[in-house]
Chain A
C-alpha cells in the first residue's frame, strides 16, 4: 500500500507539472493580455511598456514559467494582476464555495438517483421503470442553465421569492447559506440524479442477469439477501467511480450555475480571470481543479481496494 501511494503521488506530480506547462502556454496563446485589458481604447506605448514590465510580461515565456514554478514550489501562487491580492487568498474561499456545491450536489444526486436506479432495475420493463427512464432522459438532455433558469423563474413567479444575492458561508450562517444554495443545488442535483439513476439501473440490471444471481434465486435465497449481499457490493465499484466523475465534473463545470445564481465560486472566478487575462489567477485556479481531480481519483482508487479484495492483489 505504501509503495503504491508513493507511485501514485509521483505520477500525480508529473501530471500536474505537465498540466501547468499546458495551462501556462494556452492562456498566453489567447490574444490580448492584462495590459491591453487595462488600457482598453486608451493609453499609449510608454504606459503599456511600463505595465508589461511591471507584470513581467516583457520577459521570455520560459523565464516567466520558471519564475512562476519557483514561486509555486514555495507554496506561493503569486498575486492577482487585477485585484492585487495573493491568488491563494482568492482561490481559498472560491474553492470552498464550489466544493460545497459539489458535495451537496453529490448528496442530492445520490439520495435521488441511487434509489431511483435500483427501483427501475428491479422493475425492469414495467411501467414504473419506463417512468423513471423518462425522467432520466429528460434530466440527461436538459441543459443546466435551462433547468436553473426555469427553477429560478418558476419559484419566483409562484412564491415571489428568489435567492439572496449576498453570499454567506455555512460558517457565517448555515440557514442563510442553504437558502442561497437551494436552487443551484437542485438544478445541478436533478441533472446529476438522472445520470446517476440511469447508470445505477444499467449496472443493477446487468448484475440481476448474472448466472450466480439466478442460481441463488433458484436455491430460494431471499431477494433482500441477494440484493444487499451480492448485487449491491458488485455494483458499488462502478458507482463509486461514477461519484468521483460527478464530483470532478462539478468542480470543473459549475461556471454556468455560479453565474446564474451569483455564487462566488471557482468556476466564475476562473471565467472572469480568463476574461481579464489575469494569468496568475487562471493558472492557480486550473491547478486547483487538476489537483482536486487527482485527489478524487486517488480516493476512488483507495475505495476500490477497500471494497474489492481482487484489486489489492493486483
Chain B
C-alpha cells in the first residue's frame, strides 16, 4: 500500500439515514461503521439526475493505470472507472461486484465464480469469462510488473469454464481471495488489452473498464474529467452526468476554491484546514472512520533496535494520545494493533494490548536490562509533505528523551523513504499507510518473514509468521479472528511497529452535494451514489 498521502474520515447509518458525524462545532463523536449497505454506499430514494460535480484533489494521480500504479491518489479515482470481481464493503465483507456468486471447494483451494451477465466495457464490448481470466492472469504474472502481483502469489491457475464462469485454483487456502479480487490493483479489462505496447499509456487517454464513469480527459497538473457511463450495468446509476476533478496541490487555495463554490467537495487532511472552513454557511464538514494508520516502524537491521528490550522500552515510552493530539488534534482514533476501521471486527481489545505506554518506569527498567541505562542516540526519519509527521516527531523526541534516548529528526523526500523501505533499511521511522478491510491483506506482506512475505522491518518472527499462514488458510470467521488476535499480541509484545492513530477521513462539501459517503479506504467509491440538488 502506498503511503496514503491524504485524509481520512467517515459516516454511518442512523435509523436508515446515512449521516456522517457533522462537525458543527469541534464536537468529536467517534464515527462508527455503517452496516453494509450494498455497493458503493446507500442508493438515494429521491436522487436528482444529472449535473457535474467539481471535486478538488490535493494530490494528483501519477497515472490512471490500475495495473501498474500503486499510488493511493491513483486508486481513489480509478475505482470509479474500473471494477474487480468484488467490492470491499466498509465492514470487511467482499460483496460480489462483477461476480454474481461463488462457491469454494471443501479444501478451500478451488473458487468457482459465476459472473454477472450483460456487463459492458467502456469500449462497448461485452464482458465474458475470457476477459476475467485474461485480466487476473496478467496481473499475477510478476513479469508484467504489477505491484499487485504479490497479492496473487497463491493463485495457481485461472481457467474459463464457460462464458460466465471462471475457476480459480490456489496452491494454499486463502480466505482473503475474494477481497484480493477487489479494486485496489488491476480490474477486469478486455482480453488482450496489454498486447499493444502502448496500452499502459492509453489508460491515461481512455478508460477500458466497466465502472459507472469513464475517462473524459486527463490533463497533467490540471484536471481529471470523468463522464457518466451510459451503458453502466447498475440500473439508474450513477446519478451524476460527470465529475470534474481539479488538481490543486495547495490547501490554502483549495479552501478559497471551496468558499467560492469552485469546488463542491474535497477531502482534507490537515486539522488546521478543517478549522478554517468550520463556520462557513453552506459548507458541511464530515468525519469518517479510516483504514489508514500512522505508525512508528522499528527496523531490526538498525542497532540497537535489534534488541527486543529496547523496542519494548520505546513502545512503553510512547504516549500515543499525546502524539495524535500534537499531529491532528482530535481528528482521529488512537490505535492498538489494527487501523480504526478494523478494530471492531478484527482488533485485539485495546485493554488487552501488551507494551502500551506511557509507562516511563517500566520503560527505564527495560532500558537498564538491555544495558542501555545511559540511553543512546537514534535517528527518526520523517517524510517531506506529510504534515502530521513534523509535530509528531517533536513530540516523540520529548517522550523518548524521558528514557534517555536522544532523537535526531531527519526529513527525507518520499522517493528516498520508499527506497529505504523497499530495501529493508528503514531504521527508525514514521510510516503512513492504509489497507483493505481484511487482516490478511493488512499483515501478511508487511510482517510475514521472507520469502513469503516482505518483512520490511526485518522482524523475522517465526511464530508470528506461522499464525499469519494459519489465519490466511482459515475461512471460519470465529477461528480466524482468534488466530489474528494471537498474532496481534505477538506484534504488540515484540514491537516491529507501533501503530499510533488512524486519522479520520474528513470531507467538506457544499450543500448542493448529497449522498456522498466516504469509504474507509479513502477511495472515492461514494461518488457513484452522489447527486446534486439544483
Binding site for B on A (CB under 8 A): 30-33, 36-44, 46-48, 50-51, 54, 79, 82-85, 90, 94, 149, 152-153, 156, 160-167, 258-262, 264-265, 268-269, 272, 275-277
Chain A nearest CB from B443 CB (Å) reads: 13
Q: List 11 additional contacts besides A31-B420, A38-B71, A272-B62; criterion CB under 8 Å.
A: A32-B414, A37-B418, A40-B2, A41-B70, A42-B70, A43-B147, A43-B422, A149-B252, A165-B262, A262-B250, A265-B221
B60 within 8 A of A: yes
B515 within 8 A of A: no
Task: Determine the distance from Cα of A201 to Cα of B54 in the docked complex, in whole angstroms.
Answer: 48
A-B residue pairs in contact (CB < 8 Å), sample of 17: A32-B413, A33-B415, A36-B422, A37-B418, A40-B72, A40-B147, A41-B418, A42-B445, A44-B454, A46-B149, A47-B143, A47-B150, A152-B253, A166-B244, A167-B219, A261-B253, A262-B247
Binding site for A on B (CB under 8 A): 1-3, 54, 56, 60, 62-63, 68-72, 142-151, 185, 198, 200-205, 218-223, 244, 246-250, 252-253, 256-257, 259-260, 262-263, 413-422, 433, 445-446, 454, 456
Chain A residues lying within 8 Å of B253, measured Cβ to Cβ, are 149, 152, 162, 260-262
- Chain A CB count within 10 A is highest, among B3, B143, B198, B221, for B221
Partner of B54, one of A31, A44, A156, A165: A165
Q: Does B415 lie within 8 Å of A275, measured CB to CB?
A: yes
Q: Does A47 lie within 8 Å of B71, measured CB to CB?
A: no
Q: Does A54 lie within 8 Å of B145, measured CB to CB?
A: yes
Q: Does B150 lie within 8 Å of A43, measured CB to CB?
A: yes
Chain A residues lying within 8 Å of B456, measured Cβ to Cβ, are 41
Partner of A272, one of B220, B248, B259, B445: B220
Task: Determine the distance from Cα of A223 to Cα of B263 in the docked complex, in whole angstroms.
Answer: 56
Q: Does A262 lie within 8 Å of B222, measured CB to CB?
A: yes
Q: Does B416 lie within 8 Å of A32, measured CB to CB?
A: yes
Chain A residues lying within 8 Å of B416, measured Cβ to Cβ, are 30-32
Task: Determine the distance from Cα of A32 to Cα of B414 in the docked complex, in whole angstroms.
Answer: 9
Task: Determine the distance from Cα of A265 to Cα of B205 in the docked complex, in whole angstroms.
Answer: 20
Q: Does A83 lie within 8 Å of B248, measured CB to CB?
A: no
Q: Does A42 lie within 8 Å of B262, measured CB to CB?
A: no
Q: Does B419 lie within 8 Å of A259, measured CB to CB?
A: no
Chain A residues lying within 8 Å of B454, measured Cβ to Cβ, are 44
Task: Determine the distance from Cα of A196 to Cα of B193 in the docked complex, in whole angstroms.
Answer: 56
Chain B residues lying within 8 Å of A268, measured Cβ to Cβ, are 221, 249
Given A42-B1, A46-B149, A152-B252, A31 contacting B70 (CB threshold 8 A): no
- Chain B CB count within 10 A is highest, among A30, A40, A83, A164, for A40
Given A37-B71, A40-B70, A84-B202, A269 contacting B220 (CB threshold 8 A): yes
Partner of A166, one of B222, B415, B422, B445: B222
Chain A residues lying within 8 Å of B421, measured Cβ to Cβ, are 41
For B246, the closest partner residue in chain A by CB is A165
Partner of A165, one of B71, B263, B414: B263
Chain A residues lying within 8 Å of B262, measured Cβ to Cβ, are 162-165
Partner of B70, one of A39, A167, A258: A39
Chain A residues lying within 8 Å of B420, measured Cβ to Cβ, are 31
Chain A nearest CB from B136 CB (Å) reads: 15
Chain B residues lying within 8 Å of A167, measured Cβ to Cβ, are 219, 222
Q: Does A262 lie within 8 Å of B246, measured CB to CB?
A: yes
Q: Does B260 lie within 8 Å of A36, measured CB to CB?
A: no
Q: Does A84 lie within 8 Å of B200, measured CB to CB?
A: yes
Q: Does B63 lie within 8 Å of A84, measured CB to CB?
A: yes
Minimum-distance CB pairs A-B, first 4 = A84-B201, A32-B415, A40-B2, A46-B142
Chain B residues lying within 8 Å of A50, measured Cβ to Cβ, are 142-145
Chain A nearest CB from B498 CB (Å) reads: 17
Q: Does A264 lie within 8 Å of B413, measured CB to CB?
A: no
Chain A residues lying within 8 Å of B200, measured Cβ to Cβ, are 84
A-B contact count (CB 8 A): 179
Given A41-B421, A41-B433, A260 contacting B250 (CB threshold 8 A): yes
Partner of A276, one of B62, B144, B259: B62
Chain B residues lying within 8 Å of A162, measured Cβ to Cβ, are 253, 256-257, 259-260, 262
Task: Determine the distance from Cα of A302 to Cα of B530 in the docked complex, in whole angstroms.
Answer: 60
Partner of B220, one of A79, A83, A152, A153: A83
Task: Determine the distance from Cα of A90 to Cα of B260 in the docked complex, in whole angstroms.
Answer: 30
Q: Does A36 lie within 8 Å of B418, measured CB to CB?
A: yes
Task: Determine the distance from Cα of A79 to Cα of B185 in the docked complex, in whole angstroms.
Answer: 24
Chain A nearest CB from B478 CB (Å) reads: 30
Q: Does B256 lie within 8 Å of A152, measured CB to CB?
A: yes
- Chain A CB count within 10 A is highest, among B71, B220, B414, B416, for B220
Chain B nearest CB from A158 CB (Å) reads: 12
Chain A residues lying within 8 Å of B223, measured Cβ to Cβ, are 165-166
Q: Does A51 lie within 8 Å of B68, measured CB to CB?
A: yes
Partner of B221, one of A47, A85, A94: A94
Chain A residues lying within 8 Å of B143, measured Cβ to Cβ, are 46-47, 50
Chain A residues lying within 8 Å of B413, measured Cβ to Cβ, are 30-32
Given A41-B3, A50-B145, A165-B263, A79 contacting B246 (CB threshold 8 A): no
Chain A residues lying within 8 Å of B69, measured Cβ to Cβ, are 38, 82
Chain A residues lying within 8 Å of B198, measured Cβ to Cβ, are 84
Task: Determine the distance from Cα of A154 to Cα of B416 in the docked complex, in whole angstroms.
Answer: 38
Chain A residues lying within 8 Å of B221, measured Cβ to Cβ, are 94, 258, 262, 264-265, 268-269, 272
Partner of A156, one of B218, B256, B415: B256
Chain A residues lying within 8 Å of B220, measured Cβ to Cβ, are 83, 90, 94, 264, 269, 272
Task: Determine the distance from Cα of A3 to Cα of B454 in the docked complex, in whole angstroms.
Answer: 63
For B420, the closest partner residue in chain A by CB is A31
Q: Does B433 lie within 8 Å of A47, measured CB to CB?
A: no
Task: Determine the distance from Cα of A166 to Cα of B56 in the docked complex, in whole angstroms.
Answer: 11
Chain A residues lying within 8 Å of B151, measured Cβ to Cβ, are 42
Given A36-B415, A84-B198, A84-B204, A47 contacting B144 (CB threshold 8 A): yes
Task: Determine the distance from Cα of A9 to Cα of B446 in the docked complex, in whole angstroms.
Answer: 56
Q: Does B2 lie within 8 Å of A41, measured CB to CB?
A: yes
Task: Determine the distance from Cα of A47 to Cα of B205 in the docked complex, in whole angstroms.
Answer: 24
Task: Determine the distance from Cα of A164 to Cα of B263 in the docked complex, in whole angstroms.
Answer: 10
Chain A nearest CB from B244 CB (Å) reads: 7
Chain A residues lying within 8 Å of B185, measured Cβ to Cβ, are 42
Q: Does A165 lie within 8 Å of B145, measured CB to CB?
A: no
Task: Determine the distance from Cα of A216 to Cα of B414 in the docked complex, in whole angstroms.
Answer: 65
Task: Determine the distance from Cα of A50 to Cα of B147 in the docked complex, in whole angstroms.
Answer: 11
Task: Determine the distance from Cα of A165 to Cα of B221 in the docked complex, in whole angstroms.
Answer: 11
Given A152-B252, A264-B221, A38 contacting B147 (CB threshold 8 A): yes
Task: Determine the distance from Cα of A258 to Cα of B249 in the docked complex, in whole angstroms.
Answer: 10
Q: Does B147 lie within 8 Å of A47, measured CB to CB?
A: yes
Chain B residues lying within 8 Å of A264, measured Cβ to Cβ, are 219-222
Chain A residues lying within 8 Å of B60, measured Cβ to Cβ, are 272
Chain B residues lying within 8 Å of A258, measured Cβ to Cβ, are 221
Task: Determine the distance from Cα of A138 to Cα of B58 in the docked complex, in whole angstroms.
Answer: 31
Chain A residues lying within 8 Å of B71, measured Cβ to Cβ, are 37-38, 40
Q: Does A156 lie within 8 Å of B202, measured CB to CB?
A: no
Given A39-B422, A40-B3, A165 contacting B201 (CB threshold 8 A): no
- Chain B CB count within 10 A is highest, among A42, A94, A164, A268, for A42
For B245, the closest partner residue in chain A by CB is A165
Chain A residues lying within 8 Å of B204, measured Cβ to Cβ, are 83-85
